[in-house]
Amino acid sequence: MVKKQLTLLLLLCVSVMVAQDYFPTNTGVKSVNTNYTAFVNAKIYINPTKIVENGTLLIYKSKVVGVGKSVEIPKNTVIFDLKGKSIYPSFIDVYSSFGIAKAEKATGRTPQYNASREGFYWNDHILPDQNAINVFTYDKKAATQLINAGFGVVNTHIADGIVRGTGALVALTDKGGDHNRIIDGKSGQYLSLKKSVKSHQAYPTSIMGTLALLRQMYNDVNWYKTGQSETKDKALEALIANQNLVQIIEAGSDLNDLRVDKVGDEFGIQYVIVGGGDEYKRIDKIKQTNATYILPINFPKAYDVEDTFLTSVLSLADMKAWSQKPYNPKILADNKIEFALSTKGLNTIKEFKTNLHKAIAYGLDKTIALEALTTVPARILGKSNQLGTLNKGMYANFLITSGDIFDEKTILYENWIKGNKVKVSAIDVIDIRGDYTTKIDTEKYDINIFGSIDKPKAKVKTSTGALGSKLRYKNDWLYLTIAIGDSVDKKFIRLSSRISNSTTITGKAILSNGNEVNFVANKTPDSKVTDKTKKSSKKDVFEMSPITFPNVAYGFDKQPTKQTLLFKNATVWTNEVYGILKNTDVLVKDGKIFKIGTNLKLSSATVIDATGKHLTAGIIDEHSHIATSAVNEAGHNSTAEVSIEEAVNPDDVNIYRNLAGGVTSIQILHGSANPIGGQSAIIKLKWGESANDLIYENSPKFIKFALGENVKQSNWGDNQTVRFPQTRMGVEQVFKDYFTRAQSYDKLKSSGVPYRKDQELEVLSEILKGERFISCHSYVQSEINMLMKVAESFNFKINTFTHILEGYKVADKMKAHGVAASTFSDWWAYKFEVNDAIPYNASILHNAGVLTAINSDDAEMSRRLNHEAAKTVKYGGVSEEDAWKFITLNPAKMLHLDDRVGSVKVGKDADLVLWSGHPMSVYSKAEKTIIEGVTYFDLERDKMLRNKIKKERNQLIKQMLQHKNKGLKTQPIIAKKQNYLHCDSE
């Protein structure tokens, strides 16, 4: 009976709480409260820059109805006096998955190439039809953590998929249920670069595939809108419905920030970008995106550097990140880039406060910090008229604090959300801290109460020494237990007291024998208050490790610039009709080769004595996979739509190592996972420049094709047997199919009929029109012959066969077709199809009149291409001059760049290498490597950089040790190891 009544009571309470105006009431009378609440005498941050001292905040129901110095307070107002306290708009977490269960992972291991959903888009990772609001469940525990951290409103979404559908903006209130919580059920559309875990669909497997997928999706939306589609697509319809919402995309790193912004620009979308916290690396490029950023503040912990061996392999980049990341918000602020701060990436919400204070200690302006948590998120979400400030008409979402919210010692008392109070810590706690003396029974006790006001601790001693004690102080009641016995015979005195002032503690003591006596403890008038619980993180602020270009080992403090250079008395390998010129001068001016001759003079030039040295054109690698974040898009058998240009990684140390081997230009090819691969990036190795600035201006257009074992997935494991083609027979049909489709596509396009823009077919049609060139990975003669025949049947030519290890068997046919050959010097025996690969390949092809080059396909070999070219002298007796052209002029011709690079000729780009001796001798090394007149590698500077790296590592290790010695948390080392990419790399 009692239980039943209780339940009823509970039910009653609940129903009162959630009752809506238009809901019927069966539990009692409809009680309407039209009182106001006023907060007076507070310092009010109406917005981050508008602050009122001794102001009044007046709220009615869920809204602010008045704020300022003189606010008229109606009679029916409950008034709180907040003298000495501050009021802030409560924070908004703009990027969260609060209240959304984690997506369930798909099971099974069979490769999947088609979408699993019917009636939706062809790719399972495009999920615009998801609505967070439909799966949202209020998570009270998580809400409490957020409320305690100062958040009033959270913007949540389903963190799964590349397009993730709409999010929901919810108030963190227990009152009134979801009716009251939901501020906006479609707060924006969310995107990311990560696939859905709910599906195994393979495409996309790479960053460039992901970006291409987004592009095609936008094209498909545009086409669907025209009503041309004969079928229904619920995903595209959802995309159309969501297109006017703010588009928030999780990019996650500085390189990805730039990549996604580019896609957005192409379709007239300005994304709000969720960054990686490393935006400082190339802040000028970040600024150029004009995007608003959502920044994580999950700053890395210091590494535990006690194991000297493991520390020696910890990368400088990771160490620098520890030093630099806390400065990220400040650097964005300094560059006037708008951003919001979020809880993204934090292990616990508790870290938010710590890291926020850290960001401030590292120079983030407090006003900007407040904006990043209030007005900026409100603006991002289009809710500036409801959230983010305490102007009249806004939601009554505010914080009551003991003072400056960004001061570590400040106490957050209350977090009011939609006009409802949530208590965080007790307000107006009587400060009982201090020294007291009291006499209980016959013994005199000295009691020192210390620590924080609301959770103080006690130390108790008598004339004979210190005693164990435990203090509890809550809701004005104090309980103190003092241990007076010894370890064998435990005895306690228990005190209780209702506190009514800060100078006297008076109450009852229960002695160890059970007798009760009264006691009075008086505070010593000038007793000291110690507060040891809060440590200021300011002491922990280290100077930022300098940002270099790129921001990794061997980066430059300042990007080197163009010089006027005069090489005197060099042996010059011209690669032109002049052959090898002895005792010759070369003048470099404005990034070009200006003059070649003897006794050249120019007073403004920096003279380099090249006596006994050799000067050559920079090496060009036709087949490289360095400097890219990904190599293969393996999700489809044709991926012509993807481009390595979108994956270029300017921070790869192999750029620097290649420079040290005399390499100045490379073609970064897509891998060989599929017959039709992706588009190339042809770059100059301008170490320190951004990804886009590495790419050739007006770059010739190239695409990778591939044949043989890799495209058949022969060496991918036994369950990879479902993707077409699995045989060389099938490979031919893939090409036939795609080129036939490209032809039809072109026809449709030129007919004037509306058509669905297909990026893949656009690219393939460029091949048919001779605007884009193929470099095809190839091994055995049958397939080489086949591809030439396919091309001929579609009236175009294959530009280059790369690898082409059995090219020598069909050299005559290749010559007739007019295709170039870019091969390895001596690789073979690594897989079945290279059984007949011979190191004489290059010489036979060359002798047969095929334009021939030597390439690397390998980060190590590429820095020794001069050695590899020399092997063709050994194997087959190619002349030294011709062998040298295999890695300079010939690849330049293949890449259609020989009007700019590849030889030492007046007017060409000054891409030059100064060698210590014969450029193809195993005994020589590159002393200077110059691109467009800028010295990117210099042996002398390399020595300096080595010293600098050593010093910097030492400094950072010292700081981390200091950090650990202070008792602060560290993380175990997980040192990065470079993953070297080849054709076969995923």
Site for another protein in 842-881 (CB under 8 A): 844, 847-849, 859-861, 863-864, 867, 870-871, 873-876, 880
* Nearest residue (CB) to another protein, 433 versus 657: 657
Closest CA to 684 of 860, 939, 934: 934
Residue pair 835/829 in contact by the 8 Å Cβ criterion: yes
Q: For residues 79 and 873, which CB has a smaller minimum distance to another protein in the complex? A: 873
Name residue 314's amino acid.
Answer: L
Q: Which residue has the tokens 């936008």?
A: 218
Site for another protein in 418-477 (CB under 8 A): none
Backbone phi, psi, residue 702, to 5°: -130, 155
Q: Does 494 bind another protein (CB under 8 A)?
A: no
Query: How far apart (Å, rounded) are the C-alpha atoms in residues 114 and 199?
Result: 10
- At closest approach, how far in Å is the CB of 853 from another protein? 17
Joined tokens for residue 130? 């998801």
Q: Which of residues 366, 437, 501, 980 is near another protein by CB under 8 A? A: 980
Type and span of the H or E element at 294: strand 293-296
**CB-based contact 937:660 (threshold 8 Å):** yes
Nearer to another protein by Cβ, of 22 and 309: the residue is 309
Give me the least distance between CB of 984 and another protein, in Å please.
10
Closest approach, Cβ 978 to another protein, in A, equals 6
Structure-token match 């709220």, residue found: 59
CA–CA dist 552, 578 (Å, integer): 42
* Per CB under 8 A, 840 contacts another protein: yes
CB of 870 to another protein, least distance (A): 4
Shortest CB 856 distance to another protein, Å: 11
* 802-821 residues near another protein, rule: CB under 8 A: 808-809, 811-812, 815
Contacts to another protein from residues 515-574, by CB under 8 A = 552-554
In the complex with another protein, the residue whose CB is nearer, 180 or 872, is 872
Q: Is there binding between residue 719 and another protein (CB under 8 A)?
A: no
Structure tokens that stand for 224 in this block: 């669907």
**Which 248-287 residues touch another protein, going by CB under 8 A?**
none
Distance of CA 98 to the CA centre of its chain: 21
**DSSP secondary structure of 783-821:** HHHHHHHHHHHTT----EEEE-TTGGGGHHHHHHHT-EE
Assess 782 for contact with another protein (CB under 8 A).
no
Per-residue binding letters, 655-674, with another protein (x by CB under 8 A): -xx--x--------------
CA distances from 549 to 194, 315, 350, 552, 942 (A): 28, 16, 35, 7, 15
Output the CA–CA distances (angstroms, integers) from residue 746 to 590, 770, 804, in the order listed.
43, 14, 31
Smallest distance, Å, CB 280 to another protein? 19
Contact status, residue 295 vs residue 330, Cβ threshold 8 Å = no
Closer of 609 and 812 to another protein (Cβ): 812
Sheet holding 702-706, edge to edge: 676-679, 702-706, 773-778, 800-803, 820-823, 852-854
Does 135 bind another protein (CB under 8 A)? Our answer is no
CB 974, min distance to another protein, A: 5
Task: Considering only residues 222 through 241, tell me which ones interact with another protein, judged by CB under 8 A.
Answer: none
**187: left (phi > 0), else alpha (psi -120 to 50), else beta?**
alpha
Cβ closer to another protein: 657 or 963?
A: 657
Residue 197 binding another protein, by CB under 8 A:
no
Letter for the amino acid at 97?
A: S
Nearest 5 degrees, angle CA 371-CA 352-CA 537? 95
Q: Please state whether the peptide bond connecting residue 300 to the residue before it is cis, i.e. omega within 30 degrees of 0.
A: no
Site for another protein in 672-711 (CB under 8 A): 709
- Binders in 908-967 for another protein, by CB under 8 A: 916, 918, 920-925, 942, 946, 949, 953
C-alpha span between 102 and 159 (Å, rounded):
8
From candidates 831, 896, 941, 964, binder to another protein by CB under 8 A: 831
The CB-of-972 to another protein minimum distance in angstroms stands at: 6
Q: Residues near 463 by Cβ (< 8 Å), separated by ≥ 6?
A: 444
User: Which range, of 138-146, 631-639, 824-832, 955-963, touches another protein by CB under 8 A?
Assistant: 824-832
The residues in 877-906 that bind another protein, with binding defined as CB under 8 A, are 880
In whole angstroms, the minimum distance from the beta carbon of 925 to another protein comes to 5
Report the site for another protein in 299-338 (rule: CB under 8 A).
307, 309-310, 312-313, 315-317
CB-wise, 165 or 550, nearer to another protein? Answer: 550
Minimum CB distance to another protein, residue 958 (Å): 16
* Binding flag, residue 16, another protein (CB under 8 A): no
Rounded least distance, CB 193 to another protein, Å: 10
β-bridge partners, 456: 451
As measured in angstroms, the least distance from the Cβ of 909 to another protein is 24
Residue (361 or 961) nearer to another protein, CB: 961
Half-sphere exposure of 433 (CA within 13 A, CB side): 15
Q: Pairing mode, if any, of strands 412-417 and 247-250? A: unpaired
Query: Which residue number, 415 or 825, has a Cβ lying nearer to another protein?
Result: 825
Interacting positions 638-657 with another protein (CB under 8 A)? 653-654, 656-657
Show the tokens assigned to 260. 């996604």
Rounded to whole angstroms, the Cα distance separating 615 from 618 reads 9
**Cα separation, 577 vs 596, whole angstroms:** 13
Select the residue interacting with another protein from 18, 253, 827, 968 (CB under 8 A). Answer: 827
Least distance to another protein, CB of residue 123, Å: 18
The count of chain residues that interact with another protein, using the rule CB under 8 A, is 74
Angle subtended at Cα 790 by Cα 700 and Cα 780, rounded to the nearest 5 degrees:
90
Nearest to residue 97, comparing CAs of 213, 194, 19? Answer: 194
Using CB under 8 A as the binding rule, the residues of this chain from 92 to 121 that contact another protein are: none
Q: How far is the CB of 842 from another protein (least distance, A)?
A: 11
